[in-house]
Structures are given as C-alpha cells and as structure tokens.
C-alpha cells in the first residue's frame, strides 16, 4: 500500500513540477497574454499524469483483489493467464519499484470489467475549469490591480517585485493543488467506481498520508466504509494524497493511523466540524 500511495503522490508532484516550469518560462507581465499557451500546457500535463494514475490504480486494484480473493478481474490491462507473479510485475512496473512477487500459476478469472472507461472530454472540462478558477481568474484580478500598484514606481521597486512574486506563487500553489487533485482523481475514481460495480468488493477504507488535514483524519477515522449509494463519493480536495483502499474480505486489517483517528474522534466527544478542526490541530501539535 505504501508503494501505491507514494507512486500516486509522485505523479501529482510530477505534474506540479511541469506546471512550475511552464510558469517559470513566462514573466508576470506576460502571463495575461500567455493564458492560451499556459492552459494548453496545464491541461496536457494533467491528462498525461491522470492517465498514469488510472493505470496505476487498476494494477493496484487487480493485485489487491487477487491477493484477497484468489481470483483476477478482467478489464483494461488484463492478460490471459494472469498470475500473482504477473500482477506483481504489472504493479511494480506502474510504481517503478520492486515491491513484491508471486507464483506464476494462472488465477481463476472473473471476466466482469468493473473499471470506468476513460472520458477524455470530461477530463478536459475539469482541467479547463480548474485552470479558469486557479489561474485565469487570478490573472484577471491581478491585471485589474496592476495600474494602481505600479503608478510611477520603477520596475525594480521592492514592493512591486514582492507583489509580482507573491502573485506568481499563488498561481503555482493554486494550480498545483487543483491539478494535482485531478491527477490523483484519475486513479481514485477508477478504484472507487470499480469497487461499487464489483460484486467481489465489500467496501474501502481511507488511507491518509503522514500528516492529513482534519477532514481527512475524520474520514479515515470512520474505518471501513461499506459500499452503498450513500458512500459513493470519496471526498478528496486540493493537496490531498488520500487513497481509497478496496476491501474484499471481512478479515481486513486497518492501518494503525485509522485506529488512532478513531480514538481521537471518540475522545473528542462530539461537536461541530469546526470544533473538531480545532481539537485535531491542538491535539496533533502536542
């Protein structure tokens, strides 16, 4: 599981790096006239990394399912005669690391394909919307403020330079957060939709990173979430690295972090989400 989560985080980081490079190639004064090129680079980077996230998640789902049920599921990437050994090879290739191996005995096959088909048009719309909110709208506001900020100041005026630097940093941070979420959603959606449509799956649990926000800690503290229409949404957010880990047997074991967050919620004793946020931040600082 750690290798899977780290690989998903690496894909988001890879996107963020490409976005930072695209921004670095344009000066702040030129960004308003470069939005078309920046959007094209932004959307292309998201779609490329999201496709890798999708493939990684399918390899992960198929491997976990086979390990827990002894059966392999069909769908994208399935190869006839698949074994635990070949599934580990596929997963290792997707993560870029050698994390496990298994026998080469072919597994029984469930031919049902629970994985969602790629929807390039939807992905492009979501990426374009993220760009509009996190980049284009910020640029528009920045350009409206520019005349008043510049006045008669020299281009190297420290306050003006700091203002431009802060603006560029907001584009980098906001664009990276929204785009990185969409990148990992390529895989998160694949897992979450598959487990809803897979008769062999019974639910999932939320695996957080090392320092989750108060919301993700609360969601992880729920423990196992059994599939139903009510639990059909995962609830990721910008800069979130949580993953849905599918469960195929009642004999699952939750990570220690989930148990810790469950105990924290119990000790909290109830209250509003804002109260929980304060309690969580205070508790995790001690």
Residue among 128, 95, 127 nearest 3 (CA): 95
pLDDT above 90 covers a percentage of the chain that reads: 66
The backbone region for 197, taken as left when phi is positive above 0, alpha when psi lies in -120 to 50, beta otherwise, is alpha
pLDDT in tens, 141-161: 999 988 887 776 666 778 888
Residues 142, 122: Cα–Cα separation, whole Å:
29
Q: Assess whether 209 and 159 both reside in one domain.
A: no
Q: Measured between alpha carbons, how far is 255 from 200 in angstroms, rounded to an integer?
A: 22
Report the predicted TM-score, pTM, of the whole model to 2 decimal places: 0.90
**Six-digit token pair at 135?**
């980049």
The answer to which of 85-89, 130-134, 162-166 has the lowest mean pLDDT is 162-166
Residue (of 38, 218, 70, 30) closest to 135 by Cα position: 38
pLDDT tens digits for range 157-172: 788 888 889 999 999 9
Arithmetic mean of pLDDT, 170-186:
95
- State the pairing for strand pair 203-207/225-226: antiparallel
pLDDT at 230: 57
* DSSP-derived pairing of the beta strands 243-247 and 203-207: antiparallel
Mean pLDDT, range 33-38, rounded to an integer: 95
Q: Read off the tokens for 24.
A: 């670095």
Residue 183 has pLDDT above 60, yes or no: yes
Q: Which domain holds residue 247?
A: 202-286
Cα torsion at 59, 60, 63, 69 (round to 10°)? -130
Note whether 171 and 67 are same-domain residues: yes
- For residue 286, pLDDT over 70 is answered with no
The verdict on 109 and 245 lying in the same domain is no
Q: How many domains does the chain have?
A: 2
pLDDT on residue 153: 65
User: Does residue 243 share a domain with residue 189?
Assistant: no
* Domain end call among 168, 201, 234: 201
Q: Do 173 and 271 share a domain, yes or no?
A: no
CB 35 within 8 A of CB 137: no
Task: Give the pLDDT confidence score for residue 102 in this predicted structure.
Answer: 95
The pLDDT of residue 154 is 65
The domain boundary residue, chosen from 177, 201, 225: 201
Average pLDDT value for residue range 186-210: 90
Q: What pLDDT, in 10s, does the model give residues 206-227? A: 999 878 999 999 999 988 888 7
Residue 82 binned pLDDT confidence (cut-offs 50, 70, 90): very high
29 half-sphere exposure, CB direction, 13 A CA radius: 7
Please state the rounded mean pLDDT for residues 41-56. Answer: 95
Average pLDDT, the chain: 90
Are both 181 and 277 inside the same structural domain? no
Q: Are residues 145 and 214 in the same domain?
A: no
State whether 152 and 41 are in the same domain: yes
Q: What are phi and psi of 58, to 5 degrees?
A: -65, -40
Q: Of 201, 219, 239, which residue sits at a domain end?
A: 201
Q: What is the pLDDT of residue 120?
A: 86
Query: Which of helix, strand or coil describes residue 252?
Result: coil
Q: Are residues 162 and 214 in the same domain?
A: no
């Amino acid at each position: 599981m750690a290798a899977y989560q780290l690989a998903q985080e690496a894909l988001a980081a890879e996107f963020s790096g490409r976005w930072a490079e695209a921004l670095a190639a344009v000066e702040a004064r030129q960004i308003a006239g470069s939005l078309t090129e920046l959007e094209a680079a932004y959307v292309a980077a998201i779609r490329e990394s999201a496709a890798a996230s999708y493939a990684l998640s399918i390899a992960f789902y198929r491997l976990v399912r086979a390990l827990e049920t002894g059966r392999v599921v069909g769908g994208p990437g399935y190869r006839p005669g698949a074994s635990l050994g070949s599934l580990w090879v596929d997963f290792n290739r997707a993560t870029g690391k050698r994390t496990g191996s298994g026998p080469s005995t072919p597994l029984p096959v469930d031919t049902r394909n629970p994985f969602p088909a790629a929807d390039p048009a939807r992905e492009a719309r979501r990426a374009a919307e993220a760009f509009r909110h996190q980049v284009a709208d910020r640029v528009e506001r920045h350009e409206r403020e520019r005349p008043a900020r510049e006045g008669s100041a020299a281009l190297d005026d420290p306050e003006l330079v700091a203002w431009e630097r802060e603006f560029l940093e907001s584009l980098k941070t906001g664009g990276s957060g929204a785009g990185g979420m969409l990148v990992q959603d390529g895989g998160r959606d694949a897992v979450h939709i598959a487990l809803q449509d897979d008769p062999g799956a019974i639910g999932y649990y939320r695996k957080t990173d090392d320092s989750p926000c108060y919301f993700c800690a609360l969601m992880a503290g729920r423990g196992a979430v059994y599939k139903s229409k009510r639990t059909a949404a995962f609830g990721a957010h910008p800069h979130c690295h949580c993953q849905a880990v599918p469960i195929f047997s009642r004999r699952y074991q939750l990570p220690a972090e989930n148990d810790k967050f469950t105990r924290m919620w119990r000790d909290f004793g109830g209250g509003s989400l804002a109260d929980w946020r304060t309690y969580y931040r205070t508790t995790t600082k001690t």
